[in-house]
Each structure stands twice: as structure tokens, then as C-alpha cells.
Amino acid sequence: MNAVFRKLQASATQQAFVFNQALTTCRATPSIQHPVWASVNERQYKSMPTHGIGRWRHLLPKDPPKKKRDRQQMKEIVVETETTYATLNVNVSGYDMTVVEHFSQHIHNLCNRLGIKVLDCYALQTKTTEVWLMQEQGTKMSVDSFLKTHNRVVQLRSLNATMCPIFLEVLLKNQPEGVQLSVQEHTEEDYKTRFKGRPELEGLKAKISH
């Protein structure tokens, strides 16, 4: 019985020891301010075993540092294969900007739903047409209106040959009034037309060559 008693005592003391240790560790947390033994310079929470338990950012792979925006590179034109087309440009143009933009958004959403990959979706330059009315008597012309033609392009990556008639038919049937639709293959010239011309550079080049 003594042995049992001793064991019980031992276990009790062990438990008490553990409990005391827990107490001391609890006491060291900064939430319980005991200015007697927690001085300002001593950072006692860093020695806690659970310090940094929630850290996860060091586990992520290192991202490359974000560099400044590079000059726009041209995206590679996808080559035509036996069952898919090359990079196609779906060009939506019209006078009414809201209708043109909404239709191009509709095409983009349709491609997402049908599983057609969209490479790029951009707008071309707005072209302004001045309409001059000729007077009935005489040759004087007067300004009637300014018409702006808006252009939106949705670039498709590789359209499957089986998907093509279905896709085109849905586009044609949903085409709104006053909107022109055209589907062409993408070329380098199409990409170059998006950039502004640089007349000074061309002038200097001409001077150098002469």
C-alpha cells in the first residue's frame, strides 16, 4: 500500500510540477502584466514555445519581384492544325458604343461557357467620320453630324473545327441591329495597326538613310 501511496504521491507531484510549469508559462504571457519580473527590454513572448505558431508566408514559394511594366510584346500567333483554326479575330464594330461593347462582352462570355479559349480582348482606335450635308441650291456644304465608329476585338486561341459552325451561327443569330461582325485570321499587320505612328522617328530615319 505504501508503494501505491508513493506512486500516487509521485504522480500527484508530477502533475503539480506540470501544473506549476503551466502556471509559470501562463504567467509569462504579456496579457497578464506583472511589472516585477517582466521588464521593458526583455521580450519574453519570443521565447514561448508557441511563438510564431500561425506563420505561413515562409512556406509559400518565393514570387519573383514585381518589375515595372515591360514594353508590350506581341502574343504568339497560334499555328493552324488539322482540327483547329489559327488565331482568329472576331471584330465587332458599330456606331453605338454601348451596343458594341455589350455584344463583345456577350461573345467573351459565350466563349468562356463553350470552352473556347480567349487569348486577348482589346479595343481598336475609334474612327470619327464627319458627315457634311450638301445644300440643295448651290455648292455650300454644312456640317451635319459626327459619327464615331467603335471597334472591339475578341481574339480566340484555337477554335475547334467542329465548334466553328455552331459558334458562328450563335453569333450571327444574336447579332444586334447596327453592329457589324467580321471573323478573320490574326496577322502581324493587325497587331502593328494598334500602335500609334511615330512621325519624328520616321523623319529621322528618312534623314539618316538619305
List of residues contacting other proteins (CB under 8 A): 82-84, 160-166, 168-170, 172-173, 177
- CB of 63: closest distance to other proteins in angstroms? 37
Sorted by sequence, the CB contacts under 8 Å of residue 188 that are 6+ apart come out as 74, 77
The CA distance from 100 to 168, in Å, is 17
Q: Which of 105, 106, 122, 117 is nearest to 160 (CA)?
A: 117
| C-alpha 49 chain-centroid distance | 41
- CB of 184: closest distance to other proteins in angstroms? 14
Kindly report the backbone phi and psi dihedral angles of residue 45, in degrees, each rounded to the nearest multiple of 5, phi listed first: -75, -20
- Joined grid coordinates for residue 2: 505504501
Q: In the complex with other proteins, which residue's Cβ is closer, 155 or 158?
A: 158
Q: Which of 1, 155, 19, 180 is nearest to 76 (CA)?
A: 155
Reported as type and span, the H/E element at residue 101 is helix 97-114
Q: In the complex with other proteins, which residue's Cβ is closer, 16 or 147?
A: 147
- CB of 178: closest distance to other proteins in angstroms? 10
- CB of 110: closest distance to other proteins in angstroms? 13
- CB of 83: closest distance to other proteins in angstroms? 4
Q: In the complex with other proteins, which residue's Cβ is closer, 161 or 204?
A: 161
Question: CA 173, 152, 154 angle in degrees (round to 5)?
Answer: 70
- CB of 52: closest distance to other proteins in angstroms? 52
The CA distance from 210 to 203, in Å, is 11
Q: In the complex with other proteins, which residue's Cβ is closer, 49 or 115?
A: 115
Q: In the complex with other proteins, which residue's Cβ is closer, 16 or 161?
A: 161
Q: In the complex with other proteins, which residue's Cβ is closer, 38 or 110?
A: 110
